[in-house]
């Protein structure tokens, strides 16, 4: 559970929306946000086994990765 996600400074939300396209930041302000981490095996750059992770935030309205 994340205590807070985003910023209450709404004037920053247009900037955060640019980053949201890359799934880096979200233009929101929410408290008590549940999230999950999905780990999956992948091949590393050298062919060795590695793990890739995806975080899914359960924001109001829709989950975001």
Output the tens digit of pLDDT for each of the chain's 65 residues.
Answer: 989 888 999 999 998 888 888 878 888 999 999 999 999 998 888 888 888 899 899 988 788 88
Give the SS3 label for residue 13.
Answer: helix
In this predicted structure, what is the pLDDT of residue 19? Answer: 86
Q: Name the pairing type of β-strands 2-6 and 35-43.
A: unpaired
Domain range for 50: 2-64
Give the SS3 label for residue 64.
Answer: strand
In this predicted structure, what is the pLDDT of residue 9? Answer: 93
Residues 6+ apart with CB under 8 A from 53: 37, 38, 39, 40
Instruction: Give me the number of domains the chain comprises.
Output: 1
Q: What is the pTM of this model?
A: 0.70
């Amino acid at each position: 559970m994340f205590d807070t996600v985003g910023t209450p400074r709404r004037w920053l939300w247009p900037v955060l929306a640019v980053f949201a396209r890359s799934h880096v930041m979200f233009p929101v302000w929410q408290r008590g946000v549940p999230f999950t981490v999905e780990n999956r095996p992948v091949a590393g750059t050298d062919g060795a086994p590695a793990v890739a992770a995806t975080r899914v935030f359960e924001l109001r309205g829709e989950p975001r990765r």
